[in-house]
Amino acid sequence: MIPHAAAVATGLALIGALLASSHVSATEHPADVCLEVAPDALPTEDWDAVAAAVSVAISERPALFPFPHIDRQPTRLDIDSGHLREERSYSGCLEPGAEWTARFGRDFLEAGADYLLAQAPTTPGIDSDVTIEWYPDEARMRTTLVFAGPLDIPNGTCWIDDALAANDETGTVAASGEQGVRTSPFAEGACSRFFDHLPDGGAGEQAVTLLPASVTLADGGVVRFVAQDVNVTEGSVTVSGRVEQSPG
């Protein structure tokens, strides 16, 4: 997503409400989302525009960020969604050798999936559950819906596989988004509603497309976050790369 100048201006208006400078007490729980750039990667005024664009991006995803809070540092944004009530321990996420890194926490993505399911249209009497399976060795995540009615009729499983990979030509991260269905007769409609309710894809795709890939500055210049590496671990998804700047 590339914010327009109006979006950046809106972000600047929102920044006072969403950005905070105070730290919270240290615990084992990191921020839900972290975006960090190398100290010499961006001038301060360009970082202001990036922070504003991030504010706009998360305000447009209320299912993932029902009560957003951003802790802003000179070269880092730590973002809490409001889903998880534990106090946070804000710490750096910049990968060695990278000019920028974005990290998305597992607990945050799973809480967002639960919230999306709670908001989804459902059939009375049908019990549903959504889970996210993590496959670090394959850089893959599977978002799965399991549902069943009375006496297990109807029933079924639907899933979206997101194998994540950085595209060297576009500088973005692609998610395979492969869908699968295994249901009892006449239950395919439940899976169709599940897929329709996830227009931004499964958990993996929602993570890597969450933050703006580029930001338009007030002078017409553009800051672009080029993705060179994506990594799935047991606890998070991280995307790293280089920063490119085009003059206005």
Domain boundaries, the chain: 5-105+212-226, 109-205
User: What percent of the chain has a predicted confidence (pLDDT) above 90?
Assistant: 53
Taking the C-alpha atoms of residue 47 and residue 20, their distance in angstroms, rounded to an integer, is 15
Q: pTM higher than 0.95, yes or no?
A: no
The predicted model gives 106-126 an average pLDDT of: 76
pLDDT band at 94 (very low <50, low <70, confident <90, very high): very high
Q: What is the pLDDT of residue 122?
A: 56
Place of tokens 């030509």: 169
d(CA 63, CA 60): 9
- Least confidently predicted of 83-92, 95-104, 165-174, 226-235: 83-92
Q: Which two tokens stand for residue 77?
A: 């944004």
- Whether the per-residue pLDDT at 72 is higher than 90: the answer is yes
User: Maximum Cα–Cα distance for the chain, whole Å?
Assistant: 64
- Spatial separation of the C-alpha atoms in residues 213 and 53, rounded to whole Å: 10
Residue 67's CB: how many other CB atoms inside 10 A? 10
Mean pLDDT, range 146-150, rounded to an integer: 83
Phi and psi, residue 105, nearest 5°: -75, 145
The secondary structure of residue 8, as a DSSP letter, is H
The whole-angstrom separation of Cα 8 and Cα 123 is: 40
pLDDT of residue 120: 65
Q: State what percent of residues in the chain have pLDDT above 70.
A: 86
Strands 214-216 vs 140-148: parallel, antiparallel or unpaired: unpaired
Tokens of 224: 């672009």
The residue-averaged pLDDT of 195-207 equals 82
- Is residue 44 within 8 A of residue 223, CB to CB? The reply is no
> Which position has the token pair 């329709």?
196
Check if the beta carbon of residue 37 is closer than 8 Å to that of residue 94.
Answer: yes
Separation of alpha carbons 4 and 67, rounded Å: 24
* pLDDT for the residue numbered 188: 80
